[in-house]
Amino acid sequence: MGQARKRPNLRRPPAAALAAANAEPPSFKGQKNIYVCQECCGHIVSVDLDEGVTPFMIGCEATLTCKGWMQSSFYRVFDQKMRASHEWYKPPEPEIAAMSVAMQDHVRKGGLVMRRATGASEATAVTSGRERTTPKESKTDG
């Protein structure tokens, strides 16, 4: 007869599993991300201004008339010096109070909110390799 096999201890997870479960999620504060539209193929560059979570998919922000969905590149951006057209931020409490209940819940659970970049003189998006400025933001000769 062979030796008796030692059964694993199923009551307590290994120390490495416990450490991973209790570890802080990675921080993307200051990191750029690219969202690409599955419909029009336009894309935007975003930056996380604060700690928090961002969605995997968002409504198209690259083309005014597009109703498609943009998918995250999961922060795999080779050039972190790219200018961001949008930014993710943690809104202040008065802004949270004016949001829908669903958005308030999202923010209170650590979610960030997106807006056009405030640091750029013109917020631009890239569509099919060409930059464009939305009509609301275009400059006029006054």
66, part of any domain = yes
pLDDT tier at 26, thresholds 50, 70, 90: confident
Q: For residue range 32-57, what is the model confidence (pLDDT) as tens digits?
A: 999 999 999 999 999 999 999 999 99
6, part of any domain = no
4, part of any domain = no
Domain that holds residue 118: 29-135
Q: What is the pLDDT of residue 27?
A: 84
The count of domains in the chain is 1
Cα–Cα distance measured from residue 48 to residue 35, given in angstroms and rounded to the nearest whole number: 13
87, part of any domain = yes
19, part of any domain = no
15, part of any domain = no
User: Is the per-residue pLDDT at 113 higher than 90?
Assistant: yes
For the chain, give the mean pLDDT.
80
18, part of any domain = no
